[in-house]
Amino acid sequence: MQTNSTTLNICDGKVEWLKQFNETAFEPHVPGSKSYTNRALIIGAYTLGKTRVKNALMCDDTHFLANALDSFKGLSVETGKDYFIVNRTEAELYAPSEPVYIGAAGTPARLLLSFAATVNGHTTITGNARLNERPMGDILDTFDRIGVNYKCLETQGCLPVCVSKSTPNVDNWLINGGVSSQFVSSLIHLAAFSDRQSVVVEIDDKLVSKPYVAMTLRMLESVGIEVTNENFKRFIIKPGKPSPTIIDVEVDASGMSYFLVAAAITGSEVKINKINESSAQGDVGLVEALRQMGCTVSYQADSITLKGHSLKGIEIDMDLMPDTVLSLAMAALYADSPTTITNIANLRVKECDRIAAIVEGVSRLGGQTEDGSDWITIYPLRDASACEIECYDDHRVAMSFSLLAFKGVPLTLSDYECVSKSFPDFWKQTGALVNHHR
């Protein structure tokens, strides 16, 4: 078999790859799950003693959360190469003297809002300009109902928010789950470590991104917290006080999506280790979506292998795997018919409006899309134009659109360094893919 060479050059956001690949499976090093790491850090912060978080994702979001937790008096976080050690030395914590800055980290900010209610004093949580625009009203409305005291310091329903130590005065907590599942996870953590006998968290309207809540439940159960899930409508939590433990973080299903799509659009093969189809991460569902499009998939006990083939368009509800919508959209550009993705309204309130980012990026390439409030249709890309892709400081926009270069599309990314938010070694791993195929 002839092995074709592939070259990679990244300089000032310019990404230029040739598109030839051999038949040997590439095995990328995918870091630990961002969602697991964030939840593990919060569990450690609620737990008296030392909690070690192994195989942690070391990225902007997790560093912001670790630094934030380290600023509380009575709590410290040690950072290693691929681990965190959260050490809570005091049962009573005290708020930092300065505002807690969390950058663009949406999940940590929402988890911290509830955590701050357990801390003596007044904790101000703030972020960058985009995070301070993103909605926090759903959890703040629940705070109003259950007796958690807070104050929005600038815009109502948005960060910065100052939370005061508060003891919830009711056992039934109602939360709107239609904007972000992160609010639900935040409340469940607060309930799990409260002093109440039992807490019921009930969902008003619908719950988006259910797998992220399932992940929260699985992690809490692993440290001994009993949670009854009534079809994602009601959660009955029996609070507890877990002993310090070691939390081993699973491979990031969102991070692996880029290599799966790279294989899908080039007809090459990729093997992702340290994860399988039983993962609680909803984004693992992208594997089955790519199978529907025509890829060959093989599941092993601790790995997933995918080989790309000719792709066909599909219609798919991606409510359960929102962080891989951009990845699938790139595969859709190389399908033989249009692909329609539905139930993704919450993509409009992520780091950027990700539906709009797909529309604009594809338009710059010379392609066609249609979209609505919670859906998008991507038409096959016939002749791609060289262009600059606006990343909007959004890591997933940058990583997803960069995959098109594997099809020979010359791209410039407006901000290629923003991948550090969730996958600091992304360019190193794409370089490893290039070297693998030389």
Catalytic residues: 323
**Which is nearest to 137 in space by CA: 98, 188, 167, 178?**
178
Dist. CA 102–CA 282, nearest whole Å: 25
CA pair distance 151, 146, nearest whole angstrom:
15
Cis ω on the peptide bond leading into residue 160 (within 30° of 0)? yes
Instruction: Return d(Cα 429, Cα 77) in angstroms, integer.
Output: 28
What distance in Å separates the CA atoms of residue 238 and residue 294, rounded to the nearest whole number?
45
Cβ neighbours of residue 432 closer than 8 Å, sequence gap 6 or more: 26, 28, 29
Residue 11, burial from CB neighbour count under 10 angstroms (0-12, 13-18, 19+): exposed
CA–CA gap between residue 183 and residue 139 (Å, rounded): 6
Q: Which two tokens stand for residue 69?
A: 């937790």
Asked if residues 241 and 48 have their Cβ atoms less than 8 Å apart, the reply is: yes
Q: For 285-301, b where at least 16 C-beta lie within 10 A, e where not — what string? A: bbbebbeebbbeeeeee
- The structure tokens listed for 12 are 């000032």
53/227 Cα distance (integer angstroms):
22
Q: Are 179 and 208 in contact (CB under 8 A)?
A: yes
